[in-house]
Amino acid sequence: MNEINCLTKRFLINSNRLNYPLNQIANELSERLYNNKGVSLEPMNENDDEVTDLILNNYKHLLSDMRKELKYTFIEFSKDKLEFEHSSIKLFFDHGTHEEKEKHHKNSFRISEKPDLSMIKKENFHNKYGVITNIYRDMNSRDISVVGAEFNVERNTVFSYGREKDFEAAEVSALLELLERITTYNIKKEVVESSLDSGGSAFVDPSGMLHYNYDLCSIHRFEKTKSYKWLKCMDVKKAKEVYLPLQFFDLQAEADKRFVLETSNGVALGTSQEEARLYALLELIERDAFLLFWYRQIQLRKICCDSIPNELQDMIYNYETPQTKIHLFDMTIEIQIPTILCLITSKDTNLATYISTATHINPNIAIKNALDEAIIGHAIYNQNPNIGKRSYSDYTDVKEMFDHIDLASSTDTIKSYEFLTQQEQYYCIEELYRDYREEYGNFETIGSVLKYVEQQKMKNHETIYFADLSNEMIKEYGLFSTKAIVPSMLTMTFGYTYSRINMPRLKAGIDHSLEYKDKATIEEGCFYDKPHSFP
């Protein structure tokens, strides 16, 4: 039976599908096998139609046994026959009632601190036909454990990486990133096709969210009369449903008329929808703060490393050399949630500078995350044989993420950060950040934390959009994926010509800052016109 022989396929059937017409079940199963596993149920030869018929006939007999209880079905492809076995689904992130699910750890602000992904790997990993097609360890990395994972989208391979102190933790990080990225492709939720002019008042004009310099880039312009696909979202501050173009969410949607090149910026996973929304916002806050710093070259406050927890001091001590130094800066510019910039400068390695950023309600976690990412990223890219090999005659030669990092690899770049690194004044973390336990201690659920962030921390931003990207696969394991878009903030892009410079934000972000109103070295109305070094 072609390449189907001796392979276990799992088709998860939930209660919402049990009453669907049989032909709809057949179409969904056929599409899922083809998109996720590369197996076509269209007759390719005289025997293949037997596979299709056998699946449908067996499915018909299964329906009567499965209407009352949520179950999953193993479809076993062997040389001569198909065998079915079904049993109850276990949600691996189940925490009881809704209220119990919403309770979070008061230091990490996560509902589940150590997710068990073993069943996700077991049920979805196969190097040829699995949703997850590859998981591997990088044995060349020293001191840091690196695990890569891959999945395929329309014959293209998408990569995710986990970088931790041990391989087990790195694999968890890689799989979580992979699951998050899967949700940004082939979105099949509530999508409608329409032009803006004929769509009605619920359709949001994206023109004011793009900010491209069309003299530099070759991207299409948005047209109000042209038909596009739109995804249902929530305008949380107005408490109403709206539609935004699918191109903001699906990274491969409408390639022939693409007017925005989006990234996974503002996408996050959680074990509840509220948790996913919170971490999507934290990522937007982090990226917005970095771009404010970069384009206005703000003189950030330097953090005294003696004031951070001992384990974090040890991380710095163990990585630094006489020629390699780690610098920490406060980057909490407008939105008052601890945001950190970590800068590594190195005079005797291939990668002279490397930066990482992090935002978290707990400042110690923000510092740890920024340190982790910077140390791991610098170690990995420093071993990359291509670092420092490319030449950039013009900023327009910076076209992809690697180019942004590579451009910052020259030792000359160290001088560009001296306005930060040569400051004489240091700040202790106690001076910089209010006690988060005092501020957030009365919030029992992650939903109440999210509401506080939306209403108080982001009070200067009148619009916050959330799109639920959760697909059937991640929901089966009790996970949710959300993308947040805040039109009044800066958004991360890669490739110099595709920068989206929101000039009103470059002014408002400084005007609304508590500590940095007079710290921008680039005057109002201008911006630092060099490709950013964000990895």
Q: pLDDT grade, residue 362 (50/70/90)? A: very high
pLDDT of amino acid 262 = 95
Query: Which of the listed residues 246, 262, 278 is the one where a domain comes to its end?
Result: 262
Q: Both 278 and 367 in a single domain?
A: yes
Q: Let me know if residue 107 belongs to a domain.
A: no
Rounded distance, CA 84 to CA 9, Å?
A: 10
Q: Both 465 and 392 in a single domain?
A: yes
Considering its fold, how many domains does the chain have in total?
A: 3
Q: Both 400 and 332 in a single domain?
A: yes
Q: 475: domain CATH number?
A: 3.30.160.660
- Any idea which of 53-62, 110-119, 121-130, 455-464 has the lowest mean pLDDT? 53-62
Q: Let me know if residue 337 belongs to a domain.
A: yes
pLDDT of amino acid 166 = 87
Q: 241: domain CATH number?
A: 3.30.40.250
- Residue 201 DSSP symbol: T
Q: Let me know if residue 211 belongs to a domain.
A: yes
C-alpha distances out from residue 390 to 366, 385, 393, 403, 404, Å: 33, 11, 10, 8, 11
pTM comes to 0.83
What are the b/e assignments for 406-439, b being 16+ CB within 10 Å?
Answer: bbbbeeebbeebeebeeeeeebebeebbeebeee
Q: Both 386 and 486 in a single domain?
A: yes
Q: Both 388 and 484 in a single domain?
A: yes
Evaluate whether 162 touches 138 at the Cβ level (below 8 Å).
no
Q: Let me know if residue 425 belongs to a domain.
A: yes
pLDDT tens track for 329-345: 999 999 999 999 999 99
Q: Both 251 and 281 in a single domain?
A: no
Q: Let me know if residue 529 belongs to a domain.
A: no
CB atoms within 10 A of CB 349: 21
What are the b/e assignments for 244-282, b being 16+ CB within 10 Å?
Answer: bbbbbbbbebbeeeebbbbeebbbbbbbbbbbbbbbbbb
CB atoms within 10 A of CB 325: 16
Q: Both 432 and 303 in a single domain?
A: yes
Q: Say if residue 70's pLDDT is above 80.
A: no
- Any idea which of 93-97, 174-178, 187-191, 346-350 has the lowest mean pLDDT? 93-97
What phi and psi values does residue 80 have, to the nearest 5 degrees? -110, -20
Q: Let me know if residue 339 belongs to a domain.
A: yes
pLDDT of amino acid 25 = 55
pLDDT tens track for 294-311: 999 999 999 999 999 999
- Please state the rounded mean pLDDT for residues 195-217: 97
Rounded distance, CA 256 to CA 419, Å?
A: 44
Three-state secondary structure readout of 241-289: EEEEEHHHCCCCCCHHHCCCCCCCCCEEEECCHHHHHHHHHHHHHHHHH
Rounded distance, CA 468 to CA 485, Å?
A: 12
Q: Long-range CB contacts (< 8 A, 24+ apart) of 455-460?
A: 457/335, 457/336, 457/337, 458/281, 458/335, 458/486, 460/334, 460/335, 460/488, 460/508, 460/512
pLDDT tens track for 477-528: 999 999 999 999 999 999 999 999 999 999 999 999 999 999 999 999 999 9
- Please state the rounded mean pLDDT for residues 318-324: 96
Q: Both 476 and 348 in a single domain?
A: yes
Rounded distance, CA 450 to CA 440, Å?
A: 11
- Please state the rounded mean pLDDT for residues 209-228: 97
Q: pLDDT grade, residue 101 (50/70/90)? A: low
Element (H, E) at 356: strand 353-359
pLDDT tens track for 12-63: 333 334 444 555 555 655 665 555 555 555 544 444 455 455 555 555 554 4
Between 83 and 230, whose confidence is greater?
230
- Please state the rounded mean pLDDT for residues 412-424: 96
Evaluate whether 233 touches 243 at the Cβ level (below 8 Å).
yes
Evaluate whether 79 touches 6 at the Cβ level (below 8 Å).
yes
Q: Both 393 and 343 in a single domain?
A: yes
Enumerate the β-bridge partners of residue 298.
520
Q: Both 239 and 355 in a single domain?
A: no
Please name the amino acid found at residue 323.
Q
Q: Let me know if residue 110 belongs to a domain.
A: no
Q: Both 398 and 417 in a single domain?
A: yes
Where in the sequence is the domain holding 236, given as residue range(s)?
191-262
pLDDT of amino acid 374 = 95
Q: Which of 206, 284, 259 is nearest to 498 (CA)?
A: 259
Q: State the average pLDDT for the chain.
A: 85
Sequence length of the chain is 535
Query: Which of the listed residues 211, 235, 262 is the one where a domain comes to its end?
Result: 262
Q: Beta strand pairing status for 301-303 and 134-137?
A: unpaired
Q: Both 250 and 304 in a single domain?
A: no
Q: Which of 187, 200, 142 is nearest to 35 (CA)?
A: 187
Q: Say if residue 195's pLDDT is above 90.
A: yes
Q: Let me know if residue 489 belongs to a domain.
A: yes
- Please state the rounded mean pLDDT for residues 223-237: 98
Share of the chain above pLDDT 90, in %: 71
CB atoms within 10 A of CB 394: 7
Query: Which of the listed residues 262, 296, 325 is the one where a domain comes to its end?
Result: 262
Three-state secondary structure readout of 297-329: CECCEEECHHHCCHHHHHHHHHHCCCCEEEEEE
Evaluate whether 481 touches 183 at the Cβ level (below 8 Å).
yes
- Please state the rounded mean pLDDT for residues 378-396: 93
Q: pLDDT grade, residue 83 (50/70/90)? A: very low
- Residue 453 DSSP symbol: I
Between 48 and 417, whose confidence is greater?
417
pLDDT tens track for 253-289: 999 999 999 999 999 999 999 999 999 999 999 999 9
Q: Beta strand pairing status for 145-153 and 134-137?
A: antiparallel
Q: Say if residue 227's pLDDT is above 80.
A: yes
